[in-house]
Chain A
């Protein structure tokens, strides 16, 4: 049965399969739920059970569609276009640089972590003039940091570099 499914269809089966698993996780989480002793007419379990069942049925439904040869058409793609393997390298660089942003934000401050994610995304999308890109990323992050913290009173994590630049600017912000 699986041999008939196209390559794109296999990816979709994995997608439907993981949502199927998530619905099982919801069932599992719901049945081990701690329920307070107070007297309530409706248990906090009822609704999650309904939701998990809908998800379970929908994921099975999508899988059945794939088996019937009705795999999904990706957004913005004509059904006639040949299957194209996802560009995992470009995606990987982006996920990596966003991950680094999340990791560094409260460690090395906003400017460095935002410059890194800006740099990473632009690099992934094909910019190769590293020095120029690095400079743009740094200036962009700095401008964003100061416009949000000074004009909008939105606090962003700071580190030595933010204080250093404030020092140059002569403000104590």
Chain B
């Protein structure tokens, strides 16, 4: 059977009667949670994960795909109307989007975000369907040493590209790696860092780590800077619609945003910060005349491009996730955990062993993306109402759901205690400018890195030179070396030149 047939089968099972309703529920819940200020897609999926576990695998996938797109769409609504982006990918959207809303053009901003996300999501899912099987086929030949090199590359790029300070990125990564060490060693069963607590033998539940870092950490941080102030929601006048001129100004940024976002999602470039910013800079450059003047005061291109880039980036991140089993962003990390709880192990073998599930997922992504557009453009006013929940009640509600999410997965008080500890770490990270995502990536990929390392050394019977065998590993390590060496060298040369001209 060819991939196209698989995809058609995927659509068939996703659209089968009774399954579509889970798509609707997913879009509804995803948007509902994603709209809440302070909740990004990673946290939204983490919080809703227990719910998807109560249904059949195919239904869970459909619901999951719908939640995924719903949460992202909800996040952009909040950043436009409230200027409190829930995740790094929406920061740029908030810049121009909020200005547009203030100028009375909230409807157009929301529409270009929604339609742009749909266009980007559809194209990117198509590219995903084309690229992931190819990559998986290639990955079947990759040796453990190659996987180790890929993981180390992801560590470096996520750790050093995110946030303002490289050293703090590395710090976050290593704290995540320490969390990953806790529990029984996968190979020998040696018990590490549990201090005699039997609950910790299985390690710290990843969902707990994510929910605690993103929800409890954020709540504590907000509390630490608590001032008696109310936020200002910008009312949406009219409908979420665009006029002819706005359409004309939007479609090219959508496509350019997709072109920037997708490839940067496939390579581990550290989440959606870089692509959305690049897209914004591109649109600013391409804009002419009075449109260019509008940048900084609410230019529609500045919403259309980054929103498309953000969505395409998220779909792009699914390529290495599905084909290699490697998450490269916090959201992809939660997706990995979700799949593992459906007993699906992403990686090159997935396409061989469970093609039906992969293609059901890809079909679900198409459907979820479409449902989102159909359901949410008309109901935008309903979602906006959520933003009027008074802050104290909102934070109390988020805390309640975070605690529920941390407990419900394993019905474990120990998980809940860990959530409190990790939440406090999340607070400290925010307080001291340490990025969160590298910690999540470290906690998830750390044990995997150790596994591949051990396999490599075991096959070679202790010879460490095999770590650099093969073209893939050599080129990846060269790339990393350049990444580490070039920026300081550049500064050094620049300084030298400045000195010589003086």
Contacts and interface: CB of A to CB of B under 8 A. Distances in A.
B167 A58 contact: yes
B187 interface: yes
A69 interface: no
Residue of A26, A123, A125 with highest tally of chain B CB at under 10 A: A125
B458 A51 contact: no
Contacts of A25: 193
B400 A29 contact: no
Contacts of B393: 122, 127, 136
Contact of B219 (A19, A70, A94): A94
B474 interface: no
A98 interface: yes
Given A51-B181, A75-B430, A99-B420, A124 B223 contact: yes
A30 B432 contact: no
B391 A125 contact: yes
B181 A98 contact: no
Nearest 5 A/B pairs, CB to CB: A72-B433, A125-B392, A55-B174, A86-B224, A122-B396
Given A47-B453, A51-B174, A87-B223, A38 B432 contact: no
Given A117-B396, A117-B400, 14 more contacts: A29-B193, A42-B458, A47-B181, A47-B450, A62-B168, A65-B167, A73-B433, A91-B224, A101-B403, A105-B416, A121-B395, A124-B226, A137-B396, A154-B50
Interface footprint category on A: 35 or more
B302 to A, nearest CB: 21
Contacts of B458: 40-42
Contact of B51 (A36, A94, A95, A152): A152
Interface of B: 50-51, 54, 164-165, 167-168, 170-171, 173-175, 177-178, 181, 185, 187-193, 195, 216, 219-226, 228, 390-393, 395-397, 399-401, 403-404, 407-408, 411, 413, 416-417, 420, 423-424, 427-428, 430-434, 446, 449-450, 453-454, 457-458, 461-462
Contacts of B446: 51
A75 B433 contact: yes
Contacts of B423: 98
A126 interface: yes
Nearest to A59: B171
B446 to A, nearest CB: 7
A122 B392 contact: yes
Contacts of A36: 188-190
A122 B417 CA distance: 21
A114 interface: yes
Given A44-B192, A58-B171, A51 B177 contact: yes
B219 A55 contact: no
5 contacts: A40-B188, A51-B174, A118-B400, A144-B400, A144-B404
B418 to A, nearest CB: 10
B175 A114 contact: no
A20 to B, nearest CB: 11
Contacts of A86: 224-225, 431
A47 B453 CA distance: 9
B396 A74 contact: no
A12 to B, nearest CB: 5
Contact of B457 (A26, A42, A52, A74): A42
A22 interface: yes
A163 interface: no
Between B185, B396, B420, the greatest number of chain A beta carbons within 10 A of the residue's beta carbon is seen for B396
Contacts of B449: 47
